[in-house]
């Protein structure tokens, strides 16, 4: 096996960015196979840095391929610069989590023009050209959130509850799919008068701070009469819970989420959050890494699914994994799956609740 070394200075990348060296025997010797990954940010959800990066790294290391994982930190210009650098530095495969479809498409198109294969990781780039799309069934994620909120409101015997909705980023296609899922559950309940449709707003860039401000306004305008909150992910949910706490309403108003973030699981344990949706990111990272590694060797793997790009009608070969709803009694399943450790979850303040929920 020939070792491929690229100087970090020449690569223009931060120290430590090039982490593995691999066998490039299947490739043009002047252009060693390298996989570039661009994560979106580290503020909209902890998952990108704590889970996706870790699992992708493990998969690439196990396969002995060279890779470079960068994070655009919510900056669309930086996103494009990273992509350009990765291609210049020999990436033959690019895997992106777009910040919006427009800038994502620009990156995918440029890559394609330079013979670089691409994968849409977690978020579909509308109008894009990626070889594969690897994600979860995101309409199902939303459905689980809607059904979860319904279950918690029923458990509380809420009568004609006013339900507020905090959608994800309007430029994230996933947010559209989550909304489609939860509204398929909630809209009929609004329409038949079981629930009262409260305020609804998207949260630009999934910004948690903005979510707090939005929810504070919602609550004030509603004179505190909000009885349930469909928050599209755990970061938004936690911002809502923080506001509810200030008003002495936490635990009385069920809040949803997504990502099985440690903080969210703790919120569930103490009763401040109704539920979250666990997406086994390891499965997602493993599936995407497997496809990326094959592409880097000039191979193409068949995948089971197809998703139609609503803008172009293109059938994108896809892997869509199954999400799982998590309530108090199933928090333990996330720990059992190795996504969160008991040590991180069951700190002193949560020890008793962990025991009650059977977390071992």
Contacting residues toward ligand BGC, per CB under 6 A: 44-45, 47, 122-123, 168, 172, 174, 206, 233, 258-259
Nearest Cα to Cα of residue 256 among 235, 279, 226, 280: 235
How many whole angstroms separate alpha carbon 149 and alpha carbon 153? 6
In angstroms, what is the minimal distance from the CB of 28 to ligand BGC? 34
Report the residue number, 22 or 168, with the smaller CB distance to ligand BGC. 168
How many whole angstroms separate alpha carbon 305 and alpha carbon 31? 31
Phi-psi region of 123 (alpha: psi -120 to 50; beta: other; left: phi over 0): beta
In angstroms, what is the minimal distance from the CB of 175 to ligand BGC? 7
In angstroms, what is the minimal distance from the CB of 31 to ligand BGC? 32
- The partner residues of 306 in beta bridges, in order of sequence, read 317
Residue 318's φ and ψ, nearest 5 degrees, are -135, 150
> Residue 211 CB: number of other CB atoms within 10 A?
27
In angstroms, what is the minimal distance from the CB of 122 to ligand BGC? 5
How many whole angstroms separate alpha carbon 43 and alpha carbon 228? 25
Report the residue number, 47 or 179, with the smaller CB distance to ligand BGC. 47
Report the residue number, 45 or 92, with the smaller CB distance to ligand BGC. 45
Report the residue number, 18 or 260, with the smaller CB distance to ligand BGC. 260
How many whole angstroms separate alpha carbon 160 and alpha carbon 158? 7
In angstroms, what is the minimal distance from the CB of 281 to ligand BGC? 8
C-beta separation of 47 from 262 below 8 A: no
Report the residue number, 27 or 44, with the smaller CB distance to ligand BGC. 44
In angstroms, what is the minimal distance from the CB of 190 to ligand BGC? 25
How many whole angstroms separate alpha carbon 320 and alpha carbon 338? 21
Report the residue number, 70 or 258, with the smaller CB distance to ligand BGC. 258
The tokens of 85 are what? 């650098």
CB-based contacts of 155: which residues, under 8 Å, 6+ apart? Answer: none
In angstroms, what is the minimal distance from the CB of 249 to ligand BGC? 24
Report the residue number, 237 or 317, with the smaller CB distance to ligand BGC. 237
> Residue 347 CB: number of other CB atoms within 10 A?
12
How many whole angstroms separate alpha carbon 68 and alpha carbon 205? 24
């Amino acid at each position: 096996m020939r070792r491929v070394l690229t100087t970090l200075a020449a690569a223009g990348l931060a120290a430590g960015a090039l982490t593995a060296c691999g066998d490039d025997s299947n490739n043009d010797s002047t252009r060693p196979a390298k996989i570039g990954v661009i994560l979106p940010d580290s503020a909209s959800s902890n998952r990108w840095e704590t889970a996706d990066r870790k699992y992708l790294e493990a998969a690439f290391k196990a396969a002995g391929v060279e890779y470079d994982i960068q994070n655009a930190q919510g900056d669309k210009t930086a996103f494009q610069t990273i992509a350009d650098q990765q291609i210049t530095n020999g990436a033959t495969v690019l895997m992106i989590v777009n910040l919006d479809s427009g800038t994502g498409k620009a990156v995918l198109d440029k890559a394609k023009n330079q013979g670089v294969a691409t994968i849409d990781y977690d978020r579909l780039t509308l109008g894009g050209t990626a070889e594969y799309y690897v994600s979860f069934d995101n309409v199902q994620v939303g459905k689980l959130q809607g059904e979860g909120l319904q279950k918690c409101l029923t458990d509380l015997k809420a009568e004609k509850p006013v339900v507020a909705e905090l959608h994800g980023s309007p430029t994230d296609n996933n947010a559209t799919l989550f909304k489609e899922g939860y509204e398929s559950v909630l809209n009929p309940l609004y329409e038949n008068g079981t629930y009262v449709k409260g305020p609804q707003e998207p949260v630009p860039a999934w910004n948690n701070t903005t979510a707090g401000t939005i929810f504070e306004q919602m609550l004030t305008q509603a004179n505190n009469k909000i009885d349930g909150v469909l928050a599209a992910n755990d970061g938004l949910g936690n911002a809502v819970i923080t506001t509810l706490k200030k008003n002495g309403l936490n635990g009385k108003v069920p809040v949803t989420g997504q990502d099985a973030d440690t903080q969210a699981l703790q919120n569930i344990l103490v009763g401040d959050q109704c539920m979250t949706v666990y997406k086994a990111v390891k499965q997602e990272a493993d599936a995407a890494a497997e496809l990326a590694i094959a592409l880097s060797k000039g191979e193409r793997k068949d995948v089971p699914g197809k998703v139609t790009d609503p803008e172009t009608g293109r059938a994108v070969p896809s892997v869509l994994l199954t999400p799982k709803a998590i309530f108090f009694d199933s928090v333990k399943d996330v720990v059992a799956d190795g996504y969160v450790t008991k040590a991180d979850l069951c700190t002193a303040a949560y020890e008793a609740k962990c025991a009650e929920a059977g977390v071992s």
